[in-house]
Amino acid sequence: MTQEEDIAAGAAAETSGPTHSGFVALIGPTNAGKSTLVNRLVGAKVSIVSHKVQTTRAIVRGIAIHDNAQIVFMDTPGIFKPRRRLDRAMVTSAWGGAKDADLIVLLIDSERGLRGDAEAILEGLKEVRQPKILLLNKIDRVNREDLLALAAAANEKIAFERTFMISAENGSGCDDVMDYLAKTLPEGPWYYPEDQISDLPMRQLAAEITREKLFLRLHQELPYASHVETEKWEERKDGSVRIEQVIYLERDSQKKIALGKGGETIKAISTASRKELSEILEQPVHLFLFVKVRENWGDDPERFREMGLDFPK
């Protein structure tokens, strides 16, 4: 047994009664609220959130303890009709995560209903053997009659074990989901130490946070094809950390947008990212951002490996 498994087993042994653990894949269309929900259920930020579609690119695991259960949520990329190589890698990753899980949670945006990608996902789920539950999100924006009709329509297509109506944003209904998952996941030891909330390496999480700030600042102006990598991470003697990151873009015109007039935009992105990283790391952060143009980075296998995705042929 590894030291990490030892710690996890010890933590689990301190609880009363048998422990439960398992992997829960959260799937759904783009912008259904999956990352917001994972952060809500874990109780900390483990997945970045923005208004831009397809913000989540690879599976992010968030770890939550509820009663005697350790629930490992797999926040998957939104499932949609892929057009580019990166799209195909993301959708393949999402379905792969679903097939590897103990239980699948389908999250549907109640306002959008079963139109478009949601309909296609329901068809795809018919081929997946794992038990499935349905979560209807954003219930505060839809009247009760429409919610009941949506739940009935979805359950006609798939035999869901349970249906929950929730709001990932304000937490309504989320405790009921956690109670259900804690009781439903199989008995067994915990996979991770009790205080671990994600399996994402800190260098990668730091890059994701900067990418979030980039998208939040330049939601309209900057195209989807941008990528952030942490190139250097230096723990300094004074207790601070020096982080160097590169923002990869595809064209020179995008570089001008990211930098902004007099470097104003990149400074704002750096300030926002540094503030959040300092809070997460609980130490001073010196963040240096560089913007590079790499044409067709979306066809570079190395970039896919950095994102935790398989490079599709």
Q: Is 124 marked within a binding site? A: no
**Residue 248: strand, helix, or coil:** strand
Contacts of range 51-55, beta carbons closer than 8 Å, 24 or more positions apart: 51/215, 51/216, 51/219, 52/215, 52/219, 52/224, 53/78, 53/80, 53/224, 54/30, 54/78, 54/80, 54/87, 54/90, 54/224, 55/212, 55/215
CA–CA separation, 297 and 92 (whole Å): 19
Q: Is 35 marked within a binding site? A: yes
User: Which two structure tokens, joined as six digits, stand for 15?
Assistant: 């609880």
User: Which two structure tokens, joined as six digits, stand for 292?
Assistant: 């590079």
Quick one: which of 46, 55, 166, 185 has its CA closest to 106?
166
Q: How many CB atoms lie within 10 A of CB 239?
A: 9
Compute CA distances 36 → 39, 40, 50, 138, whole Å: 5, 6, 9, 11
Do 136 and 110 form a contact (C-beta atoms < 8 A)? yes
Q: Is 257 marked within a binding site? A: no
Q: Is 138 marked within a binding site? A: yes
Q: Is 237 marked within a binding site? A: no
173-194 burial, b if ≥16 CB within 10 A, otherwise e? bbeebbebbbebbeeebbbbbe
Q: Is 265 marked within a binding site? A: no
Q: Is 131 marked within a binding site? A: no
**Residue 27: strand, helix, or coil:** strand
Q: Is 31 marked within a binding site? A: yes
| 176 phi, psi to nearest 5 deg | -65, -40
Q: Is 201 marked within a binding site? A: no
Q: Is 29 marked within a binding site? A: yes
**Residue 66: strand, helix, or coil:** strand
Q: Is 34 marked within a binding site? A: yes
Q: Is 179 marked within a binding site? A: no
Q: Is 176 marked within a binding site? A: no
308: CB partners within 8 A, 6+ apart: 58, 59, 93, 204
* Binding-site residues: 28-35, 75-79, 137-140
* Binding-site residues for GTP: 28-35, 75-79, 137-140
